[in-house]
Amino acid sequence: MKKNTGAPSSTRFSEADYEAALRPLQIELVKLQRHFISSGERILVLVEGRDGAGKDGTIKRIVEHLSPRDTRVVALGKPSDRETGQWYFQRYVAHLPSPGEFVLFNRSWYNRAGVEPVMGFCTPKEYEDFMNTVNTFEALLVGSGIKLFKYYLDISREEQVRRLRDRGKDPLKQWKVSPIDKAAVRQWKAYSRARDAMLSRTHHPAAPWAVIHSDNKKSARIHLLRHLLSRLDYPGKLPRLLQWNPAIVSEWPAGSALLPPLA
């Protein structure tokens, strides 16, 4: 799909404008879910991104009013010793959508392309094996009928530092705080290189990447929703609500030049 150049130029929302924009999109999501429950379609959304980029908040707004019986959020922890010895994709396959289901991965198999090589959690061979097979794996998923969408939420270094600092001070977000946070800032350039390699090597026609520029969380959430809904067909769809701003949603590889610099 081509970028929608009819999107509004503003990249920020007041709280009132945000709520006014969010509710109609959540209604569109409900329409979408009613359709794919009745048709048996399977939808899989991967949400990747830097620490602090807003993955949790974005997913929360997507699922907020959807049927809990037909919607699942998958956020897997560290693999067990048993899982470590399995085929890498095996533990993810168990969570793929069944007919009528909407599944979102809050981080996915792309841990092997981002966090793991930077933090030394995988070997160079394991990394290359993943990069050489993931496109085929995803093509098989799409060939089986799964509608697969991949989003990478990106932020500036300054915004990441601010969010991680604020996270550490918030008593309601202590579960998010981990040693990885400090590494995320310290290893900024390494994560940038891993990001660029991942996007360039794993973008393919069956499962293209879209990069969401999320220094402004509200704007990122609205535009990811608009972009996702614009790529799906369902009865009663209102295209006028789904105009997304190409300054915020960059469809890879055209968006590569818009990514933050390594410095």
**181 neighbors 164 (Cβ within 8 angstroms):** yes
pLDDT at 1 over 80: no
pLDDT band at residue 185 using 50, 70 and 90 as cut-offs:
confident
pLDDT at 176 over 70: no
List Cβ neighbours of 54 (8 Å cut-off, separation of 6 or more).
153, 155, 214, 217, 220, 221
Tell me, yes or no, whether 7 lies in a domain. no
Predicted local distance difference test score (pLDDT) of residue 263: 32
- The Cβ of residue 186 has, within 10 Å, a number of other Cβ atoms equal to 10
pLDDT at 83 over 90: yes
Least confidently predicted of 35-49, 72-86, 224-238, 240-254: 240-254
Overall domain count for the chain:
1
Tell me, yes or no, whether 36 lies in a domain. yes
Average pLDDT of the residues in 36-58: 96
Predicted local distance difference test score (pLDDT) of residue 240: 96
Which pLDDT tens digit goes with each residue over 126-150? 999 999 999 999 999 999 999 999 9
**CATH label of the domain that carries residue 19:** 3.40.50.300
Which pLDDT tens digit goes with each residue over 209-255? 999 999 999 999 999 999 999 999 999 999 999 999 999 999 866 54
Tell me, yes or no, whether 2 lies in a domain. no
Q: Is 91 or 169 the better-scoring residue by pLDDT?
A: 91
pLDDT at 259 over 80: no
Tell me, yes or no, whether 103 lies in a domain. yes
Predicted local distance difference test score (pLDDT) of residue 167: 78
Q: Is 257 or 178 the better-scoring residue by pLDDT?
A: 178
List Cβ neighbours of 177 (8 Å cut-off, separation of 6 or more).
167, 168
pLDDT band at residue 181 using 50, 70 and 90 as cut-offs:
low
Radius of gyration of the chain (CA): 18
Predicted local distance difference test score (pLDDT) of residue 11: 57
Distance CA 61, CA 242 (A): 16
Print the domain residue range for 59.
15-77+84-258
Tell me, yes or no, whether 9 lies in a domain. no
Average pLDDT of the residues in 49-73: 96
pLDDT at 6 over 90: no
Predicted local distance difference test score (pLDDT) of residue 196: 95
Distance CA 51, CA 214 (A): 12
Q: Which residue has the tokens 């209102």?
A: 238
pLDDT at 5 over 70: no
Tell me, yes or no, whether 211 lies in a domain. yes
Predicted local distance difference test score (pLDDT) of residue 3: 40
Predicted local distance difference test score (pLDDT) of residue 132: 98
Share of the chain above pLDDT 90, in %: 78
| Strands lying side by side in the sheet with 71-74 | 71-74, 102-106, 42-49, 146-154, 209-213, 249-251
Tell me, yes or no, whether 10 lies in a domain. no
Tell me, yes or no, whether 214 lies in a domain. yes
**222 neighbors 13 (Cβ within 8 angstroms):** yes
pLDDT band at residue 2 using 50, 70 and 90 as cut-offs:
very low
Average pLDDT of the residues in 18-42: 97
CA atoms within 13 A on the CB side of 55: 24
